[in-house]
Amino acid sequence: MLTPHPAVESVWELRAEGGSGPRVGVLGAIHGNEVGGLRALERLMTDAGAREAELAKGTLVLIHGNPRATAERRRYTAGGTDLNRLFDFGWVDRLAREAWTYEHHRAHALRSVLGDLDALLDLHSASQPTVPFAIAASTAEGIALGRATGCRVTHGWDGPGMLMDHVSIGHLVARGRPALSVECGQHQAPETSEHAWRILLRFLGALGVSRHPPETNAAPTYRLFGRVVKPTRHFELTKPFASFDVLAPGDVLGRGEGVTIAVEEEAHLLLPTPTAARGEDLVYLARREP
C-alpha cells in the first residue's frame, strides 16, 4: 500500500507484504529539471499494487527531491542553491536560519528520511549527452552494486577535493550502507526515463528486495582523478563534449580570459557542463581501469 510520509511532503512509502526488511530509498529530481528519475517514481506509484506484489521484502521510500524547483523547471529554485551540495549539514550551525533558501529547508527536512534508510538510489540526468553511468563508493561492494545496474561505473568521488560528503548518497556511504547515484542520460532525451526505470529495477533486484534480476555482464569502470571548476566567467570548453569523450595528454580542455587548461594524462570526461557559472563544476576527469 502506498502511503505518504507522516512528516515530510513529497515522500511516500511502499511496503512489501509483512513490511519486514530494509528501507530502500529511491530519489528523483533532486535537481528540479532532472525529471527522468521522477518519471520512474511516478511509474511505481501509478501501479503501486502490482509493484508491491513484486517486492520480496522491505519498504521503498520514494522521494521527490526538489518539488518546488521541478515546478519552476529549474535545477534549483530562483534565488536558491544546489540541493545536492547540502547533505554534509555543516551549514545548519554555520548559516543563520533567516538566510536559508528553500533548498536548505528541504535538505533539513530530508535529513531524517535519509538517516533512516538502509540503501539509496539517486536518479539523475545530465545537461549534455551521456550513456548511463553509476557514481559509486570506492569499495568492492560499491563497484559491484554499480555494475549490477548494467551501467558503466565511476568511483573516486570520495577522494580529496571531491563531493561525496556533500551529496545525497554520501550520507549513507559514510556509514557503509549501499548507495548509488546514477546519471541516466540527457535531461529531455526520451530514453532517459526508460533507462531510469530499468536501473531502478536492477538496483532493487541486486539488493534482494524485488524479484527483478540484476545485470551480470560487467561494464567498464573508471576512477576519478580530477575536478575542474570553471575558473573565469568567459572560460569555455574547446568543443561540446559528451561524457566519456577522451582527451590525450596535452589536449586543451578549454580556455578563456587568459586561462588555458590542458590535461597532463589521458582523461575520460564526465559531466561536462558548458553552462556552468564561474566557480561551479565544469567537468570531471577519470581514468579507465583495466
Segment 1-56, tens digit of pLDDT: 899 999 999 999 999 987 789 999 999 999 999 999 999 999 999 988 888 888 99
Query: 257-271 in b/e burial notation, b at 16+ Cβ within 10 A?
Result: eeeebebeeebbbbb
Output the pTM of the full model: 0.94
Contact indicator for 226, 253 with CB cutoff of 8 Å: no
User: Are both 2-207 and 223-288 of the same fold?
Assistant: no
Distance CA 34, CA 225 (A): 26
- The pLDDT of residue 94 is 96
For range 114-119, the mean pLDDT: 97
- The pLDDT of residue 1 is 81
For range 118-123, the mean pLDDT: 98
Half-sphere exposure at residue 244, Cβ-oriented, CA atoms within 13 angstroms: 17
Q: Closest by alpha carbon to 103, among 80, 79, 70?
A: 80
The one-character DSSP state at 210 is B
Neighbouring C-beta atoms of residue 56, cutoff 10 Å = 15
- Domain ranges within the chain, ordered by starting residue: 2-207, 223-288
What does the block give as the cell for 204?
532493487
For range 165-170, the mean pLDDT: 96
CATH of 223-288, one of 1.10.600, 3.40.50, 2.40.50, 1.10.3470: 2.40.50
Secondary structure of residue 164 in the 3-state scheme: helix
Query: What is the distance, to the nearest Å, from the Cα of residue 119 to the centroid of all Cα atoms in its chain?
Result: 14
Q: Which helix (H) or strand (E) holds 64?
A: strand 59-64
What value does the mean pLDDT of the chain take?
A: 95
Checking if the pLDDT of 139 tops 90, the result is yes
Distance CA 187, CA 36 (A): 7
Neighbouring C-beta atoms of residue 36, cutoff 10 Å = 29
Contact indicator for 110, 8 with CB cutoff of 8 Å: yes
Domain 2-207 has CATH 3.40.630.10: yes
